[in-house]
Amino acid sequence: MGGRGGWWRGKSTPAKVETYTRWSFHTFPFIEVATFALPAFGYVPAPVNWILFLLVSTHAAVAAVTASLTLDWTRGRRPLPVRLLWALGTATVVIAVVSLAVALHGPRGADNGAAAGTVFVGVLSFGIGTLALAVRGTRRMVYGVLGAAVGAGAVAVPAGVSAPGAAVAAGAVVLAAGFFTFTSAFSVWLLNAVYELDEARETRARLAVAEERLRFGRDLHDVMGRNLAVVALKSELAVQLARRGRPEAVEQMVEVQRIARETQREVREVVRGYREADLRTELAGAQGVLTAAGIDCEVSGPVTGLPAEIQSALGWVVREATTNVLRHGDAARCAVSLRVAEGRVTLTVENDGAPGIGSGSGTDTAEPGRGSGLAGLRERLREVDGVLRAGPAGSDLFRLTAEVPLPPDSVPEQAPAPEPGGSPRPVPHPVSEVTS
């Protein structure tokens, strides 16, 4: 998907929020120049108007670079640009004082003083708001705004501004600088919150995999621990009987052999149950976890009556597709449909967060054997003579389709799909992380 839409859709949700935040701060310099520098050409005669314009433009450019580098610092990608912050602070003070001097001692006109005074307040406000990006702690931000307001009043009075005028300037700095400081603080908080939520979602998926591995370990421990203890006891008894020349030793070893074979059978059942996926459970789990992630998920079609091996293969498809919709796409809607017609069962998963499955780390890369991603799914479907197709289905849709032929004597019941209020699993197990 090329073009601007593809560039935007290819980003994750945190990356989109970060891009929006950065471009918001990149518009601030244009707002500063348009609001405080350009009006000077209509009220202040040359060359003073050009001086104010160049000073404000320089301040806006330094503020833009500082904001960009400081946002990188908030994300831990670079050190705090201390020198640039000092340069911005110094430029803010110098330009504010120069604009105040122009307002008081520059060329006189109808609105000369008002225009230069507006530059004084605007430069201080934008400067303090940008510097707030490097401040952690609400109290320090409040102190910064109040300090700028007090400093503005303290500079204005000795420069010849009346006490009421200095109070008005200080109040204007409090309001404007407070607004830009709040904007900066809220933007950083929102950006960090989005990244933390995304990391929490990844952690939840990893915890689900860990829980499944623990369950598998407990099952193996229950089977192997009990039976091996019996094998050890009977083997010890057989040794004692054999040393005494008792014929019962043979019976004990026969029993050990039987227990070993029984243990082998039980281990196979545990592993088979671990590898197989129940289609109804996977559909309910997919609907539950996608809904919890804010994705509108609709499941339709018959579920019951399908052969166990087909349900298992399709269950793995649902599990992998759901995992990839969560991890690699930015979907708002996902539809899962199951259709039985002409002796074939077709499972279709569509989402509007293209590229969805098949992107990122969930692509067609798989190790030999039962792998992960599309290659692993194709291998599982191949065992039941099924096929898998995946790819874009329009400008913003990604469609995954799995088709499996039904045995001649298999006629599934037309039962409804799992209800949204069922008991979904906490999260589907990512195929890419569960060892088969």
The end-to-end CA distance of the chain, in Å, is: 34
pLDDT band at 1 (very low <50, low <70, confident <90, very high): very low
Nearest to 357 by CA among 321, 319, 305, 401: 321
Nearest to 100 by CA among 182, 158, 171: 158
pTM reported for the whole predicted model: 0.53
The answer to whether residue 356 scores a pLDDT higher than 90 is no
Residue 74's CB: how many other CB atoms inside 10 A?
17
C-alpha–C-alpha distance, residues 297 and 314, integer Å? 18
| The amino acid at 352 | D
Residues in the chain: 436
Q: Could you report the per-residue pLDDT of 72-117, keeping only the tens digit for each?
A: 898 888 898 899 899 988 988 888 888 777 766 655 554 555 666 7
The answer to whether residue 173 scores a pLDDT higher than 90 is no
Residue 163's CB: how many other CB atoms inside 10 A?
10
| Higher-confidence position of 328 and 8 | 8
The answer to whether residue 166 scores a pLDDT higher than 80 is no
Q: Which residues contact 61 (CB under 8 A, 6 or more apart)?
A: 29
Q: Could you report the per-residue pLDDT of 198-247, keeping only the tens digit for each?
A: 888 778 777 877 777 787 787 777 777 767 877 888 888 888 888 888 88
- CB half-sphere exposure, 159, CA atoms < 13 A: 23
Q: Could you report the per-residue pLDDT of 263-312, keeping only the tens digit for each?
A: 888 787 776 666 566 788 788 878 877 776 678 888 888 777 788 888 88
Strand order in the sheet with 398-405: 296-300, 333-341, 344-351, 398-405, 387-392
Contact 59, 91 (CB under 8 A): yes
Q: Could you report the per-residue pLDDT of 133-146, keeping only the tens digit for each?
A: 888 888 888 888 88
For the chain, the C-alpha Rg in angstroms (whole number) is 35
pLDDT band at 347 (very low <50, low <70, confident <90, very high): very high
| Higher-confidence position of 47 and 347 | 347
For 81-90, 149-158, 168-177, which range has the lowest pLDDT when averaged over its residues? 149-158
Question: What is the overall mean pLDDT for the chain?
Answer: 77
Q: Could you report the per-residue pLDDT of 13-43, keeping only the tens digit for each?
A: 888 888 888 888 888 888 888 887 777 776 6
C-alpha–C-alpha distance, residues 34 and 29, integer Å? 8
Look at residue 273 in the predicted model and tell me its pLDDT: 62
